Chains A and B, each alone.
Chain A
Amino acid sequence: AQTVTQSQPEMSVQEAETVTLSCTYDTSESNYYLFWYKQPPSRQMILVIRQEAYKQQNATENRFSVNFQKAAKSFSLKISDSQLGDTAMYFCAFIRINNDMRFGAGTRLTVKP
């Protein structure tokens, strides 16, 4: 079975600082995709960043970057220069070919002024 684990239910960070959210997953597949989604209080699901499993290079999107460790099945999200607008639930997700997307339970991030 494919599972996604986010071990940090809640985290907080001071504005302008850096925070890392953890995610581990379990799969026997070699070809898959990993994602981080952000869900602000509006409840809209917003794609933050994605990573193809066959790519060794870590994905980056502006202030957001990932540390993808395929052997360890780890996929953490680093947010640099945190902003108040980053306050949200963050979900790690996993999908493989012809299968459903599995989400972690989420990490509630609060950015403090």
Chain B
Amino acid sequence: DSGVTQTPKHLITATGQRVTLRCSPRSGDLSVYWYQQSLDQGLQFLIHYYNGEERAKGNILERFSAQQFPDLHSELNLSSLELGDSALYFCASSVQLDKQFFGPGTRLTVL
């Protein structure tokens, strides 16, 4: 158990819908990272927040947005969902750049 929690574990929705994925970092970790892992592919970095501020942006679509709240939990919002958005979405947290701890992931299925 990494100490990072993600909810929900599984999410099934239809094209065109909007969903919110939630991540609670390990106690004391100020950084939260979001990654997308499509089927049989490596991980793609989406976005990084540090203490509520956006620090880096990767290959995140305009339909996707994220935020980190004062209690340090983070949410990833995915809208106008397409079939290709089906993936495993990971959240990771860290207090130091060189040690990211990953949550169990949220599996999103878009039908």
Contacts and interface: CB of A to CB of B under 8 A. Distances in A.
A91 to B, nearest CB: 6
A103 B42 contact: yes
B64 interface: no
Q: Which of A50, A101, A106 has the most CB of B within 10 A?
A: A101
A43 B44 CA distance: 15
Nearest to A104: B42
Contacts of B33: 100-101
Interface string A84-113: 000000010101011111111110000000
Q: Which of A37, A93, A100, A103 has the most CB of B within 10 A?
A: A100
A82 B78 CA distance: 40
B12 interface: no
A93 B104 CA distance: 18
A44 B98 contact: no
Q: How large is the interface on A (under 10, 10 to 19, 20 to 34, 35 or more residues)?
A: 20 to 34
Interface of A: 33, 35, 37, 43-47, 50, 52, 91, 93, 95, 97-106
Interface of B: 2, 33, 35, 41-45, 48, 55-58, 88, 90, 92, 97-102, 104-105
24 contacts: A43-B105, A44-B102, A44-B104, A44-B105, A45-B90, A45-B105, A46-B102, A47-B99, A47-B101, A50-B99, A91-B43, A93-B43, A95-B97, A95-B98, A100-B45, A100-B48, A100-B57, A100-B58, A101-B45, A102-B45, A103-B43, A103-B45, A105-B41, A106-B42
